[in-house]
């Protein structure tokens, strides 16, 4: 059997690995010229931990994880206002938590192809998919700018992220499925030895209203920054003018010298996108199926997109891998959706709940957040936070 996977993000690479190890021939088409270096720190917990242990990916992830001791909120002078201990966060999240840089996670998934399936899986970078269609009992895929490059397969997997082009072509335009949560997020990595030395082993977050900047020191002299902000016109509405960098400089002025320094070094076009979920009535149509953010983005507010991308892809591999005849494909894809949808919907509900408190809208809400964090060790409050974080009370 043969599959084409569009997108070599975490979901695409894990799907390819699992199908390859089940004996499928897999072509992965990725528009970036090489693995994307840009990214942010991610908390990796929940279903992806269990799935990555089961498929043997976990040791590769653990090997590149960062050691985080605490998430610390600070005021504009850099003084801590509240802090959440990471062992406690791990307990609230139900067990193991790894702190991973997005590109490290993707590189681990790429390297893991060698464990099981390298001969059967080909990853082509610099291959932006422009058109997908069905013909003669096959799915077909054309690559932009290469009229002669066309791929045919039994199954097409759209793992091309929240702005999926496969989804737009097979299921309908993005506007039908994208649910903005009222804010934008930006992320970038800079080289800054002084800040790096100052903030080792902890997430530092500004305790600010309507916006939040966070930073984390990486190995070498780098610092990973991420910024979340509410938009006056709504996240899909009119953007304030200028390049993304100019916009960030305007939005995040006055949050202290560490943030000022990050903004000085910010690249002109950092990652900067709407914070949103993808909500769809169906994830498979004919021989096409979506996985990861393409069908079920939960948003950074749920803090589980990467985890769910891995777990969903592993499940898709479990269900589709054993298929040996064309007639079995549609029931396998339906089975994948039947089993995976409840997990995604639960995480999406947690993400929507978090949207109301993630960025305090006034001083009272900020005081409430400080109080919740300071009392987070108390029974009852810990369950409230766990519900915010993972969608259900950690057992
Ligand atoms: C700021 C921020 C913080 C986050 N924090 C966390 C966290 O703490 N924990 C967590 O678990 N998750 C977090 N997430 C979410 C997580 O990053 C995503 O859910 C996850 O990366 C989704 O993986 P994916 O493989 O589905 O999609 P993506 O990573 O988006 O990969 C899609 C791939 O498809 C490629 N592609 C797109 N179009 C085409 C095309 N036409 N042709 C070929 N290739 C194409 C893209 O280049 C990309 O490589 C965060 C997200 C953001 C933005």
- The model's pLDDT over 116-140, given as tens digits with 9 standing for 90+, comes to 766 899 999 999 999 999 998 899 9
Q: Tell me the CA–centroid distance for residue 87 and ligand 1, in Å.
A: 27
The pLDDT mean for the chain works out to 90
Phi/psi of residue 263, each to 5°? Answer: -70, -30
User: Is a pLDDT exceeding 80 seen at residue 76?
Assistant: yes
- Domain boundaries, given as residue ranges, for the chain: 2-41+103-177+279-356, 180-276
Which pLDDT value is given to residue 384? 59
pLDDT score for 389: 52
Which token pair is 229?
């902000």
Q: Is the CB of 143 under 6 A from ligand 1?
A: no
Would you state the pLDDT for residue 220?
Answer: 85
CA dihedral 318, 323, 327, 333 (to 10 degrees): 10
> Domain 2-41+103-177+279-356, what architecture?
3-Layer(bba) Sandwich (3.50)
Q: Which residue's CA is minimally distant from atom 27 of ligand 1?
A: 161
pLDDT of 130: 95
Indicate whether residue 39 lines ligand 1 (CB < 6 A). no
Q: How far is the CA of 293 from the centre of ligand 1 (A)?
A: 6
| Residue 79 CA to ligand 1 centre (angstroms) | 33
> For residue 385, what pLDDT is reported?
60
Candidates 44, 102, 156, 290: which one to mutate for ligand 1, based on the most atoms within 8 Å of Cβ? Answer: 102
Report residue 53 as tokens. 């242990």
Q: Do domains 2-41+103-177+279-356 and 180-276 have the same CATH topology?
A: no
Which stretches within the chain are classed as H helix? 10-21, 47-55, 58-63, 86-92, 102-111, 113-116, 165-170, 193-198, 244-251, 257-265, 293-296, 305-320, 329-358, 363-374, 381-390
pLDDT of residue 235: 43
Q: How confident is the model at residue 394 (pLDDT cuts 50, 70, 90)?
A: very low
Residue 68 or residue 270, greater confidence = 270
C-alpha of residue 227 to centroid of ligand 1, in Å: 17
Structural tokens at position 80:
């801590």
Ligand 1 site, residue 46, Cβ cutoff 6 A: no
**Is 157 near ligand 1, meaning CB less than 6 Å away?**
no
Q: pLDDT for 134-170, tens place per residue?
A: 998 899 999 998 777 789 999 999 999 999 999 999 9
Burial class of 350 by CB neighbour count within 10 A (0 to 12, 13 to 18, 19+): buried
Contact 4, 151 (CB under 8 A): yes
Q: How close is the Cα of 9 to the center of ligand 1, in Å?
A: 6
Q: How far, in Å, CA of 247 to CA of 240, rounded? A: 7
Q: What is the pLDDT of residue 165?
A: 98
Q: At residue 207, does pLDDT exceed 50?
A: yes
C-alpha 61 to ligand 1 mean position (Å): 16
- Determine which residue's CA is closest to atom 53 belonging to ligand 1: 300
Residue 390 has pLDDT above 60, yes or no: no
Please report the atom of ligand 1 found closest to the CA of residue 45: 11
Cβ atoms 155, 287 nearer than 8 A:
yes
Q: What is the pLDDT of residues 342-351, one digit of tens each?
A: 999 999 998 9
Q: For a substitution probing ligand 1, which of 34, 276, 309 has the most ligand atoms within 8 Å of its CB?
A: 309
Residue 244 Cβ inside 6 Å of ligand 1? The answer reads no
Is the CB of residue 165 below 6 angstroms from any atom belonging to ligand 1? yes
Which residue's alpha carbon is nearest to atom 19 within ligand 1?
A: 305
212 CB less than 6 Å from ligand 1?
Answer: no
- With the most atoms of ligand 1 within 8 angstroms of its CB, the residue from 161, 292, 309 to mutate is 161
Distance between CA atoms of residues 152 and 136, nearest Å: 10
Query: How far, in Å, from the CA of 75 to the mean position of ligand 1?
Result: 31
Which pLDDT value is given to residue 371? 85
> Does 18 contact ligand 1 (Cβ within 6 A)?
no
β-bridge mates for residue 206, sequence order: 74
* Ligand 1 atom at minimal distance to the Cα of residue 10: 25
Interval between CA 395 and ligand 1 midpoint (Å): 28
Band (pLDDT 50/70/90 cuts) for residue 395 is: very low
Instruction: Report, as an integer, the average pLDDT of 15-37.
Output: 96
Confidence of residue 381 (pLDDT cuts 50, 70, 90): low
Residue 380 confidence class, pLDDT cut points 50, 70, 90: low
Q: Evaluate: CB of 9 within 6 angstroms of ligand 1.
A: yes
Nearest Cα neighbor of 209 from 366, 371, 367 is 366
Give the per-residue pLDDT at 241: 66
Is any atom of ligand 1 closer than 6 Å to the C-beta of 304?
Answer: yes
CATH topology for 180-276? D-Amino Acid Oxidase; Chain A, domain 2 (3.30.9)
Evaluate whether 167 touches 177 at the Cβ level (below 8 Å).
Answer: yes
């Amino acid at each position: 059997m043969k599959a084409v996977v569009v997108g070599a993000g975490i979901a695409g690479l894990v799907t390819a690995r699992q199908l390859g190890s089940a004996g499928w021939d897999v072509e992965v088409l990725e528009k970036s010229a090489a693995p994307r270096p840009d990214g942010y720190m991610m908390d990796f917990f929940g279903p992806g931990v269990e799935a990555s242990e089961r498929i043997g990916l976990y040791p590769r992830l653990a090997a590149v994880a960062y050691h985080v001791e605490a998430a610390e909120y600070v005021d504009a002078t850099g003084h801590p206002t509240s802090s959440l201990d990471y062992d406690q966060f791990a307990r609230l999240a139900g067990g193991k938590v790894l702190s991973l840089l997005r590109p490290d996670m993707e590189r681990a998934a790429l390297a893991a192809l060698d464990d099981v399936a390298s001969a059967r899986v080909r990853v082509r970078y610099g291959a932006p998919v422009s058109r997908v269609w069905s013909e003669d009992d096959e799915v077909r895929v054309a690559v932009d700018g290469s009229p002669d490059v066309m791929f045919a397969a039994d199954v097409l997997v759209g793992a091309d992220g929240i702005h999926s082009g496969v989804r737009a072509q097979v299921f309908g335009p993005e506007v039908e499925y994208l649910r903005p949560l009222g804010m934008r997020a930006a992320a970038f990595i800079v080289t800054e030895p002084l800040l790096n030395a100052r903030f080792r082993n902890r997430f530092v977050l500004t305790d600010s209203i309507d916006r939040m900047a966070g930073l984390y020191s990486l190995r070498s002299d780098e610092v990973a920054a991420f910024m979340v902000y509410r938009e006056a016109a709504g996240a899909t509405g009119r953007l304030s003018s200028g390049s993304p960098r100019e916009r960030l400089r305007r939005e995040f002025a006055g949050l202290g010298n560490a943030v000022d320094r990050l903004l000085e070094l910010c690249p002109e076009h950092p990652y900067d996108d709407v914070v949103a979920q993808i909500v769809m009535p169906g994830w498979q149509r004919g021989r096409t199926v979506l996985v990861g953010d393409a069908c079920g983005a939960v948003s950074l507010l749920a803090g589980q997109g990467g985890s769910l991308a891995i777990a969903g892809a592993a499940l898709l591999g479990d269900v589709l891998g054993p298929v040996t005849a064309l007639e079995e494909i549609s029931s396998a894809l339906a089975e994948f959706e039947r089993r995976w949808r409840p997990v995604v919907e639960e995480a999406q509900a947690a993400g929507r709940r978090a949207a109301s408190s993630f960025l305090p809208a006034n001083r009272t809400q900020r005081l409430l957040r400080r109080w919740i964090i300071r009392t987070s060790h108390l029974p009852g409050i810990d369950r409230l936070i766990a519900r915010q974080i993972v969608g259900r009370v950690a057992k």
